[in-house]
Amino acid sequence: MRSRAYDEVTVGETLPELPVPLTRTLIVATAIASRDYQDVHHDPGLAAERGSPDVFMNILTTNGLIDRYVTEWAGPAAEVKAIKIRLGAPNYPGDTMVLTGTVTAKHDEDRRVEIAVRGANRLGAHVTGTVAVRLPGGAES
């Protein structure tokens, strides 16, 4: 994986789209990997009792996927400085979330780049937010 340098990034540039197939296994596996055992993230019967049509992805996983999305683009040298998200439509099994992103700001003083991120499923926006990463200065090998 190549690391992106601060100077090669321009405001307005878009990140490649990342479709994330939302399998039931993904939703359960990521909930457990984040040590989140709330029933709505793994038990369809109890989720229905609570008024949800099915289990849905937990917010820690949304954070994790957005972190992955931005650092895949930015490369291993990037340091994540902030992840701010707001959730909308839930991620249910069988859907696909498509992540998109746009560079919205650059801060020369600490080589920090801000990226507006959106993850949409067929119900609408699952997540909108911004991620800030610090990038290396010169071009890296």
Q: Given the complex with other proteins, which of 7 and 83 has the nearer CB atom?
A: 83
What count of Cα atoms within 13 Å lies in the side-chain half-sphere of residue 52? 19
List the structure tokens of 107. Answer: 């801060």
Write out the binding residues for other proteins, residues 45-84 only, by CB under 8 A: 50-53, 58-61, 63-68, 71-72, 76-77, 79-84
Cα-Cα-Cα-Cα dihedral sign, residues 67, 70, 72, 78: negative
Is residue 35 within the footprint of other proteins (CB under 8 A)?
yes
Query: What is the biggest distance separating any 2 CA atoms in the chain, rounded to whole angstroms?
Result: 55
Write out the binding residues for other proteins, residues 103-132 only, by CB under 8 A: 104-105, 116-118, 120, 123-125, 128
Single out the residue of 139, 128, 72 nearest to residue 104, CA to CA. Answer: 128
The site for other proteins (CB under 8 A) is made up of 1, 3, 11-12, 20, 26, 29-30, 32-38, 50-53, 58-61, 63-68, 71-72, 76-77, 79-90, 100-102, 104-105, 116-118, 120, 123-125, 128, 136
